[in-house]
Amino acid sequence: MSHPQCGKWGYPGVTECPMSCSADCGIRSYTRKSRIVGGQNSDVGEWPWQVSLHVRGQGHICGASLVSESWLVSAAHCLHTASTYLGLTDQGDLSNANVQARKIKRIISHPYFNDYTYDYDIAVVELQTPATFSSFIQPICLPDATHSFPVGKDLWVTGWGATAEGGGSGVDALPYIGLTVCNQLLTDQLTPRMMCVGILTGGVDACQGDSGGPLVSVEPSSRMFLAGVVSWGDGCAQRNKPGVYSRLTSLRDWVQQQTGL
């Protein structure tokens, strides 16, 4: 996953190319200074790699991340999907001209996924027809297995999960909590394939419906990397109950083996 020209991207301490050196990943056309429980609404084009997974007759059930024209990364427990929507912000606006609907060719879940502990909770999804990149649809960068996300760093979580208000997609920044501290809070339920993110006083968290969606790190280069996948939690936004995410760096080799990315 290394390339002699990757240095031109200027990632401090990062030598990998997420897809290829010509790939324009992790860049969004829309930014702002400034729903996740306790979070804030997101705008069109703000998180262009966010994908909505739908089941026929039920609508949205999980999120996913676009990582190339043909591949998504999601959670293994989000399996029963019939279609995907890219470039979507409002679940009530599926017919918007910026939205692309794609059928699924295949879903590959990690063979070691444990539906009791949620260890190895990751899956890759291949689209029947490649996505067309636009200002509203762009891939997120995949980190190398050696990429470091330091404890305390703010990471961004997005999705259409349950909120106190309902409505469209939401977003908020949450601090990365070390594995030792998180295992103390969640009674040793974490494995090396998991990472813990949240505000210990509660009030902000991923929730039902956010599963499979992206946990994003904004790097010094301003490019954005997929740090984790929304996996599980003990309730939503409770005090001393941070959310748990599948750790991309620990599962990166498997993703590469399945997708070639």
Out of 2.70.240.10, 3.30.950.10, 3.40.50.300, 2.40.10.10, select the CATH number for domain 154-249. 2.40.10.10
Is residue 3 among the annotated active site residues? no
The values of phi and psi at residue 91, to 5°, are: -60, -20
DSSP string, 81-121: --EEEES-S-TT-TT-TT-EEEEEEEEEE-TT--TTT-TT-
Is residue 22 among the annotated active site residues? no
Task: Give the residue with greater pLDDT, 1 vs 110.
Answer: 110
Catalytic choice (52, 54, 119, 121): 121
The values of phi and psi at residue 173, to 5°, are: -95, 135
Q: Are 43 and 198 in contact (CB under 8 A)?
A: no
With tokens 């309902």, the residue in question is: 166
- SS3 category, 47: coil
* Mean pLDDT over the full length of the chain: 78
Query: Poorest-confidence range of 43-47, 115-119, 236-240?
Result: 236-240
State pLDDT tens for residues 54-64: 988 788 889 99
**pTM confidence score:** 0.82
Q: How far apart are CA 134 and CA 158, in angstroms?
A: 19
State pLDDT tens for residues 120-146: 999 999 999 999 999 899 999 999 999
Is residue 211 among the annotated active site residues? yes
State pLDDT tens for residues 86-104: 998 878 778 888 899 999 9
Q: Are 252 and 198 in contact (CB under 8 A)?
A: no
State pLDDT tens for residues 171-192: 567 788 888 888 888 888 899 9
Catalytic choice (211, 217, 231, 246): 211
Domain extents for the chain? Answer: 154-249
Catalytic choice (52, 60, 68, 77): 77
